[in-house]
A and B are shown apart, each in its own frame.
Chain A
Amino acid sequence: MQTTPTQSAPCTDAQLVDYAASLDCVHCGLCLRTCPTYELTGRESASPRGRIHMMRSVAEGELKPDAAFIDELDLCLLCRHCESACPSGVNFAAMLEHTRARLLDSSERSWLVRRALGLGLGRVLPSPRWIAFLAGALRFLQRLGLVQLASRLPGKVGQAAAACPPVPPARERRALPRHTPALGQRRGSVSVLEGCIMPPLLGRVNRATVAVLAAAGREVHCPRGASCCGSLHAHNGDLQGARELARRLIDKHSGLLGDDGELLPIVTNSAGCSSHMKHYGALLADDADWAERAAVFGKQVFDFSEYLVRFAFDDLRPALGPLEVAQPICWDDPCHLCHGQGIRDEPRALLDALSIERVELKESESCCGSAGLYSVLRPLDSRAILAPRLAALKATGARTLVSANPGCQLQWSGGLRQTGSEVEVLHIAELLERALAHGRESGE
Chain B
Amino acid sequence: MGNLTHVTINFKTSHLIFPTIIACVLGVLLVAIVIRDRKRIAASGAYWRDTWGAMDKPRFLGALALTLVYFSLMVPVGNIWPNTGLGFLLCSIPYVLATGILFMHERTPRAILPLLIVALVGPTFVWWLFTYPLFLTLP
Q: Do A and B bind each other?
A: no
